[in-house]
Structure 1
Amino acid sequence: MELQRVALSTGVELDVASAGDPAAPAMIFLHGFPESHRTWRHQMADLSRDHFVIAPDQRGFARSSKPEGVEEYAPAKTVADLFALADHFGIRGFTLVGHDWGGAIAWIAALQNPQRVRRLIILNAPHPLVFQRSMFDGSGQREASQYIRAFRNPDLEKHIAAIGVEGFFDTTFVKHADPALMADERAAYLDQWSQPGAMTAMLNWYRASTVVVPATGEEATPPGWLDGPFPPLTQPVLVIWGMKDGALLPVQLDGLDAVVDDLTVVRIADAGHFVTWEKPAPVNAAIREWLAVKGDG
């Protein structure tokens, strides 16, 4: 893969990995917390054989720009980065693929601009309506999401500074995937997290989000918009879910058919949250089988 620095019209510079023939059907991949374009290394290696694949290190991550201020990481900013990136490469319509926070942004982008996001592939990233509802339905997702409240704590960086990024890796991140696979990637993660301002920038994605996460046991009133109409996605959507995800529970699959007109769900029983590199073979197979049916032009 080629890694290049791209200055976007949104005012940030991103490191962007790309591969394949620029004349081939385009796929844009958005990673989540606390990763980088490397999330997609197995998918890009496979799909670049017949697609033009692009994966940025999103704002705040690795060596991409890290603008100061929580407001710089609001979804409107990161969605704008996506379309500015597509514009940079001269891409009008594309298949969008997202995991974790990248998936959250992908849901929003697909809702806002179905003319450009022609197909959507989501991996372990909740739909905004389903996720917010799950904070109030007793499904266990609220308890699983208490890490979001911790990540929003403005004093968290002091704790990380005290234990070091190595300690943060060993006490949090490493618990969510196969330790052997984590060990192989440890140096890359620690390098990226150690970049100046990286930890604050990555955490600001959580702080800029408007998702309401009540404390466990708290008597909280659901946001009023949950009772209103919510627009469905009209383009084809593939959702791939690692069923052992302890942070985003499989309950996030419940009710998706009510907000997605053309939905395909693939469950990978023996994968956790980081399904893209935990189980790349079944992920790649699911994507290729779906594209063969739904088209990729």
Structure 2
Amino acid sequence: MLFLHGFPEYGAAWSEVAERLAADYRCIAPDQRGYGQSWAPPEVEAYGLRHLVSDMAALIDVLGGPVTVVGHDWGAAVAYGLAMFRPELVSKLVIINGVHPVPFQRELAAGGAQTSASHYIHVLRTEGSEDRLSANEFEKLWKLFSARMDLSWLTPERLKLYKAEWSRPGRLKAMINWYRASPLQVASPGEPLTDLPPLPRDRLVVRCPHLLIWGDEDTALLPVCIEGLEEFAADLTVHHVADADHWICHQQPDLVAGLIGSWIETAPS
């Protein structure tokens, strides 16, 4: 099983879930490009999706794939990319509070609730945002991380580990470059974008079995972002968790690991 973390985490984000699955599966949770101790090239264009997918495709080749890919947040974007563009490498796909590009772009452009929730992307993309987020011991990054959600799992000891990773030279800029390199367009609240080029929907389909685990109290990614997902995943299973938010993997690791394990056992190969 290949576990792909999101922003602003690193491979250790999966420790609680992976340790509960490790007795039955070989669990690999790398630091993705620009994060943790991985390679962090300075150029924005180095963080385009094709490069991020190629990194993980190369890792799967080394592992002797295909594998089950599990993605959260930005890790979900790479996981979807693998499933859509390198389907021979992905046997099963698990997404946890992450979004498919077509429904997500639809909501980002609509000018509604998700546009407002994602307005921070404009802030991250501005020049020097990494300096502002890192000031005063990452005070503003911490506030962005919490964003009206339950961070009781983030103990002082664990936060210290996160800050150590964020403090590596050039690391925070590299992490934010994922946002800068993304082609997704974000409207202003109440001002929908109506002239977006059409996405190649026929190329953006998931053909393998797909499980979506969704914490319903997520305030960063709203449930409207998964409406219509079945159009792009014929073999889709959705499990809603009412009392969890974006950080469900930390809040309820027993539940998440149990859902993944039981689904893998019953999903077709």
TM tier relative to shorter chain: over 0.9
| Equivalent-residue separation in structure 2 for 1:32 and 1:206 (angstroms) | 12
Give the AA of the match of 1:65. W
Q: Equivalent residue for 1:203?
A: 176
Instruction: Give the share of equivalent positions with the same residue, in percent.
Output: 38
Q: Residues 166-181 of structure 1 correspond to what in structure 2 (within 5 A)?
A: 167-175=139-147, 177-181=149-153
Q: How many residues align?
A: 268
Give the AA of the match of 1:189. Y
Residue 225 of structure 1: how far off its partner (Å): 1.1
Cα deviation code 1:211-241 (max 9, x no counterpart)? 0111223352242214865543211000001
**1:182 equivalent in alignment to 2:154:** yes
Residue 285 of structure 1: how far off its partner (Å): 1.4
Stretch of structure 1 that moved more, 104-113 or 175-184: 175-184
Q: Equivalent residue for 1:262?
A: 235
Q: Equivalent residue for 2:167?
A: 194
Q: Equivalent residue for 2:52?
A: 78
8 Å CA contact 2:20, 2:254 repeated in 1: no
8 Å CA contact 1:176, 1:272 repeated in 2: no
Cα deviation code 1:86-113 (max 9, x no counterpart)? 1223x12110010000001111110112
Stretch of structure 1 that moved more, 177-186 or 54-63: 177-186
| Equivalent-residue separation in structure 1 for 2:193 and 2:147 (angstroms) | 29
The alignment's TM-score, normalised by the length of structure 2, stands at 0.93
Residue 139 of structure 1: how far off its partner (Å): 4.6
| Equivalent-residue separation in structure 2 for 1:51 and 1:246 (angstroms) | 32
Residue 261 of structure 1: how far off its partner (Å): 0.4
Give the AA of the match of 2:13. T
Between structures 1 and 2, the one with greater strand share: 1
8 Å CA contact 1:230, 1:259 repeated in 2: no
| Equivalent-residue separation in structure 1 for 2:213 and 2:24 (angstroms) | 21
| Equivalent-residue separation in structure 2 for 1:93 and 1:227 (angstroms) | 25
| Equivalent-residue separation in structure 2 for 1:148 and 1:77 (angstroms) | 21
Where do 5+ consecutive residues of structure 1 fail to align? Answer: 1-26
8 Å CA contact 2:112, 2:189 repeated in 1: no
Provide the aligned C-alpha RMSD in A. 1.8
Residue 138 of structure 1: how far off its partner (Å): 5.2
Residue 162 of structure 1: how far off its partner (Å): 3.7
Give the AA of the match of 1:61. Y
Distance 1:188 1:176, change over 3 A: farther
Q: Residues 264-279 of structure 1 correspond to what in structure 2 (within 5 A)?
A: 264-279=237-252
Between structures 1 and 2, the one with greater helix share: 2
Q: Equivalent residue for 1:157?
A: 130
Distance 1:126 1:222, change over 3 A: farther
Where do 5+ consecutive residues of structure 2 fail to align? Answer: none
Q: Equivalent residue for 1:215?
A: 188
| Equivalent-residue separation in structure 1 for 2:250 and 2:140 (angstroms) | 21
SS at match of 2:70: strand
Q: Residues 1-297 of structure 1 correspond to what in structure 2 (within 5 A)?
A: 27-89=1-63, 91-137=64-110, 139-165=112-138, 167-175=139-147, 177-184=149-156, 185-226=158-199, 229=202, 231-294=204-267
The alignment's TM-score, normalised by the length of structure 1, stands at 0.85
Higher relative contact order (CA 8 A, sep 6+): 2
Residue 157 of structure 1: how far off its partner (Å): 2.4
Distance 1:100 1:219, change over 3 A: closer
Cα deviation code 1:175-196 (max 9, x no counterpart)? 3542321234211111111111
SS at match of 1:115: helix
